[in-house]
Amino acid sequence: MSTRPASERTTAAPVKRATASERGCCCTTSEMKAKQANKIREIGLTLIRLGFPSLDMQAQVLGLPRSTTWTILKASHKSSGLSASTIVRILSNPGLPVELKLKLLDYVREKEAGLYGDSPTKLRRFTARMSDARLMIDAIGDLKMCVRRNRI
C-alpha cells in the first residue's frame, strides 16, 4: 500500500497501440495478410501457367511433399506465410523454373520489407535466415557454374 496521499498518486496512462497509419503502413494487418495470401496464390497460378496443373507435378517442381504443397497453394498456411526454410527448399530445387524463382524472390523482398504485417522481431529472424540461405544458394550456384566451366 502506498503511503502517499491519494492526491499525489499517479496512475499509469493506458498504453495506446499505434494505428497502421501511425506506423507508416498504408493497410491494416488483415489487408497485409490478404496481400500475402494473394502473392502465394500467384505462385500457384504461375505453376499452372507453366504447365504443372496437378498437385503431384507441382510438388515435384517445388521439391516439397504433396501435403506441404497443398497447404501452400491453397493459402491455408499459418498467417505468418511461407517460412524461410520452405523457401530455401524450393529455391534449392534444381528443376525450379526461372519465372517461379523470380516470384519467390519477389515474395521474399516484400516480406523482408514488412509489407505483410510481421513484427520487427519476426522480420529480423526471417531476414537472417534468408541471408544465410542466400549464401548457401549462391554457393550451390557457384559450384554448378564451376562444374559446367570445367566439365567435371
* Of residues 103 and 11, more confidently modeled: 103
Q: If you average pLDDT over every residue of the chain, what do you get?
A: 77
* Of residues 66 and 12, more confidently modeled: 66
Q: pTM for this structure?
A: 0.69
Is the pLDDT confidence value at 2 over 70?
no
Distance of CA 14 to the CA centre of its chain: 34
pLDDT for 52-110, tens place per residue?
999 999 999 999 999 999 988 886 555 678 889 899 899 888 889 989 988 998 899 89
Please give the pLDDT value at position 152. 41
Is the pLDDT confidence value at 19 over 70?
no
Eight-state DSSP code of residue 85: H
For residue 112, the number of C-alpha atoms closer than 13 Å in the C-beta half-sphere is: 13
Please give the pLDDT value at position 48. 95
Is the pLDDT confidence value at 17 over 60?
no
Please give the pLDDT value at position 149. 53
Q: Which residues contact 100 (CB under 8 A, 6 or more apart)?
A: 43, 46, 47, 50, 61
100-104 contacts: CB < 8 A, separation 24 or more? 100/43, 100/46, 100/47, 100/50, 100/61, 103/42, 103/43, 103/46, 104/43
* Of residues 135 and 31, more confidently modeled: 31
